[in-house]
Amino acid sequence: MALSYTFTLAKPDAVRRKLVGRIISRFEERGLDLVDVKWHWPSEALIREMYLDKATESFFPELLAFMTSGPSVAMVWQGEEAVEKGRQVIGSKLPLDSDAGSLRGAFAEDRIQSLVHGSRSEAEAYAEMVLWFPERWAGEAAPAEDRPAADAPKSEEPALMRAWEFEEELA
């Protein structure tokens, strides 16, 4: 089986409720590898682009307000059947329809405050990876080990610090 990627976003409610660590643990327990991560307070424009297919839905204004109400944590995962495994970990879009062992079944409050967004297909994952991590994923999807050289310029804004830059800061 070939490795694939998926994108997930720990939404503002997950950050506020300090559940990001649990979200990461659940994905790792399913055998997925975290290959990119970014803490980010998304702009209205970014959320509008991400949820373009939901823009005409009656709940969109509430979703937009919620998604821009605080920081989120964007993540890229790699593994066999990454999208499918990610969807299993997350659960149904409606928390009451989700398996109790899924993130939404265990922690989500409602359809809007649903803790985490996850890609529904590899094509959607790639589009979301490029949207949230344009400097890393635009063009061909690079393998996880394809990181910038040690002397490559670092992000100027702390919110855009790459995972490996963070690791270098700790060293």
**Which sequence positions are flagged as catalytic?**
117
**CA-based torsion, 85, 118, 6, 150: positive or negative:** negative
User: Rounded to 5 degrees, what angle do the CA atoms 74, 93, 138 make?
Assistant: 30
- Decide: helix, strand or coil at residue 74: strand
Query: Counting Cβ atoms within 10 Å, is residue 60 exposed (0-12), middle (13-18) or buried (19+)?
Result: middle
CB atoms within 10 A of CB 121: 12
In whole angstroms, how far apart are CA 92 and each of 101, 103, 164? 11, 9, 32
Bridge partners, residue 72, by sequence = 40
User: How many residues comprise the chain?
Assistant: 171
**Phi first, then psi: what are they for 154, rounded to 5°?**
-90, 160
